[in-house]
Amino acid sequence: MKRVATPMTTKTHKSGEFVRSGSVPDASPADGAGEPPEDRLGVFAGVSPLERLEIDLLLEAVFRHTGNDFRGYAFSSLRRRLKKRLEGEGLRTFSGLQDLVLHDDAAMGRLLRDMSVSVTGMFRDPSFFLAFRTKVVPILRTYPFFRIWHAGCSTGEEVYATAILLEEEGLLDRARLYATDMSADAIERAKSGIFPIARMREYTANYLHAGGQRSFSEYYTAHYDAALFDPRLRRNVLFAQHNLATDTSFSEFNVVLCRNVLIYFSKPLKERVLGLFEESLAALGLLCLGRRESLRFTSAEHAYEEFDAKERIYRRRR
Amino acid sequence: MNKPKLVVVGTSAGGLRALERILGHIPSAFPLPIVAVQHRSKESTDAYPAVVGATTRLLVQEAEDGEPLLPGRVYVGPPDYHVLVEPGRIVLSTDDPVNFSRPSIDVLFESAADAYGAGLVAVLLTGANADGARGLKRVKEAGGIAIVQDPHTAESPEMPAAGIAGAPVDMILPLGAIADEIVRRSAL
């Protein structure tokens, strides 16, 4: 364990901005970043060594210039996102993209946004939230006070979903929700509680399938193409910037939700983050992963027992 | 000639019958992993792998993130996730749909071409849109083998036709001959 106890990154940034070189020092590189690329990424027979070099250099440049560390990301989805940005900028090589982003802040902002903001939604996988309501809530009810960490919350939809669920169960006032993401931009949007109205029909259906007890429209007011969520839902939510690849644990939690975030990480980084969760979970605390994620292929497997195998809810052993 | 190490299959409308037909003709001792993606709705049933698996001796399972690729296994894409391949394992993503699809065949084919290069066999079957065409092109650029179902024999010809139009494919075959060709190439 070579983790340094640094406070959670709570600096806020204007939308689209990024952490500058000056604030990098407390960021330690992701585990595995020091290994040779071959071990870290495996041999990709269809990618030329030159392109691999260019991608490695680009990621290194982005890290050293902005503190955003993508070096431990799964190469397949990382390359896909980078390729999309390359095409978006009308460029041919990753060296060209590196040149652009180092000298053009707006282009760097676009790259970081493409790399870090993930697609999310409210009550995605309704059966998970139903299981949360019927199996996790009874446990939470036994605590006078509890903490939940939404790790990698992106634009916050699942945080609001959880807040709604806890409100309906009469538990929101006993809860503290910590919602963190590496992207300052995403955190700002999460704080605003404003989501596209176009998705409310889908969310309403999900909400009902997830055991919702009221009319979903009670929770927001429509304003042109935006749905403004009731600010009271976030009365016990703390939004903050935190990077799973470089920052440390910052509290003890009863539940950690990290759904469809680890899929973007390579195995060493995945292991690092799972270590972070292990440190952060109270005894018998619950770890919730995405529907097709599991601890099966990781070293964290033995630290947990399956609490709900189908919904990928794990309980930390004592 | 490069020995194949992985087979990827993409299909959409009419794909279940096509998949059953192909997988039903592959022996249980097949030496390669197979990753198959069919466009499915988000609400698609959990029984899908069992349905696909009912007519084949190969073990069919829904792909999970980080899962190692084992010979003789068929990994089908879960609904609402993209399936990507890295050397020896599966990686999932929830990035935006591609060609209005998640899983997208292009995403699977392109990532498999990156990971396996000339060691890849890609098979594009019946479907009513053009997903997979871009992926097949990438497979050929990386030196892999591209096999496409003869559009005349496909329940929906658009997808195989788009694949053929977009890339110098190696073989255009009726459904019945595709399994034999995969088995033959796996034994090379």
Cβ contact (<8 Å) for B110 and A75?
Answer: no
Distance from CA of B152 to the nearest CA of A (A): 32
Nearest by CB to residue B84, choosing from A42, A76, A262, is A76
Do A246 and A27 meet the contact criterion of CB atoms below 8 Å apart?
A: yes
Q: Which of A85-99, A109-123, A203-217 has the lowest mean pLDDT?
A: A109-123
d(Cα A250, Cα A151) in Å, to the nearest integer?
12
Say whether B177 sits in a helix, a strand or coil: helix
Interface of A to B at Cβ within 8 Å reads 41-47, 74-77, 79-81, 118-120, 260, 262-264, 267, 270, 290-294, 296-298
Token pair, residue A121, equals: 């939604």
Cβ contact (<8 Å) for A80 and B94?
Answer: no
Neighbours of A272 (CB within 10 A): 20
Strand partners, A287: A256, A314
Catalytic residue among B101, B104, B106, B131: B131
Cβ contact (<8 Å) for B78 and A292?
Answer: yes
Residue A5 has pLDDT above 60, yes or no: no
| pLDDT tens per residue, range B28-39 | 999 999 999 999
Do A168 and A159 meet the contact criterion of CB atoms below 8 Å apart?
A: no
B44 labelled catalytic = no
Among B157, B151, B156, B150, CA closest to B174: B150
d(Cα A87, Cα B45) in Å, to the nearest integer?
36
B131 labelled catalytic = yes
Token pair, residue B12, equals: 């959409």
Do B38 and B129 meet the contact criterion of CB atoms below 8 Å apart?
A: no
Query: pLDDT averaged over chain A?
Result: 89
Residue A11 has pLDDT above 70, yes or no: no
ipTM score assigned to the predicted complex = 0.92
pLDDT at A35: 42
| pTM of the predicted protein model | 0.89
Among chain A residues, the shortest Cα distance to B62 is held by A292
As averages over each run of 10 residues, the pLDDT of chain B (188 residues) reads 90 93 94 95 78 91 95 95 96 94 97 97 96 98 97 96 97 95 91
Distance from CA of A243 to the nearest CA of B (A): 19
Nearest by CB to residue A44, choosing from B65, B87, B144, is B87
Among chain B residues, the shortest Cα distance to A127 is held by B43
pLDDT, average across residues A65-83:
95
Say whether B20 sits in a helix, a strand or coil: helix
pLDDT at A202: 95
Task: Name the pairing type of β-strands B34-38 and B59-62.
Answer: unpaired
Residue A151 has pLDDT above 60, yes or no: yes
Residue A27 has pLDDT above 70, yes or no: no
- Per-residue HEC secondary structure of A74-143 comes to CHHHHHHHHHHHHHHCCCCCHHHHHHHHHHCHHHHHHHHHHHHCCCCCCCCCHHHHHHHHHHHHHHHCCC
